Each structure stands twice: as structure tokens, then as C-alpha cells.
Amino acid sequence: MHSTLKTLVLISLGVATAQAFAGPDWDVINRARTAAQHPGATSSTSASQAAMLARCDEMMKQMDSQSTGSGSQKGASESK
């Protein structure tokens, strides 16, 4: 049991050491930098977010007009 535990600890330390010496993945870093410099690449995402925000605003306006149309600013539990 003791030797199995030592083996597992040594293997995990070896894997962690190998990953530390491997260094950063420069390809991923450079792709992220170019994506940050060209914001037009994410325009489809921002357009869909803008559409979703517009729909949310419309729904909130409808809810506000329904709550103010009732004549009372208090909720059902407060009006009793």
C-alpha cells in the first residue's frame, strides 16, 4: 500500500513538472491577441446580444405599463 502511494505521488509530481517545463502555448496566445485587435470578428455575437437586449427592454416597458396602469403602486400583498 505504501509503495503504491509513493508511486502515485511520484507520477503526479512528474506530470506536474513536465507541464511546468512545457511553457505557454504561444499559438493560442497569438490567436487571442489577433482576435482582440480585430473586434469585427465577434460582430455576430454582439448583434445577437443587442437584439436580445432590445427584446428585454420591450418586455420591461410592457411590464412597467401594466403595473402603472392598475392605478396603485403597491403590490397585491401590500394593498390589503
Q: What is the pLDDT of residues 1-58, one digit of tens each?
A: 689 999 999 999 999 888 888 888 889 999 999 988 886 655 566 778 888 999 999 9
Q: How many Å separate Cα 38 from the centre of its chain?
A: 20
* Half-sphere exposure (Cβ direction) of 44: Cα atoms closer than 13 Å: 1
Q: What is the pLDDT of residues 60-72, one digit of tens each?
A: 888 888 877 655 5
**Residue for cell digits 511546468?**
20
| Three-state helix/strand/coil letters over 11-40 | HHHHHHHHHHHHCCCHHHHHHHHHHHHCHH
The contacts found for 40-43 with CB under 8 angstroms, 24 or more apart, are: none
Q: What is the pTM (predicted TM-score) of this model?
A: 0.32
Q: What is the pLDDT of residues 37-47, one digit of tens each?
A: 886 655 566 77
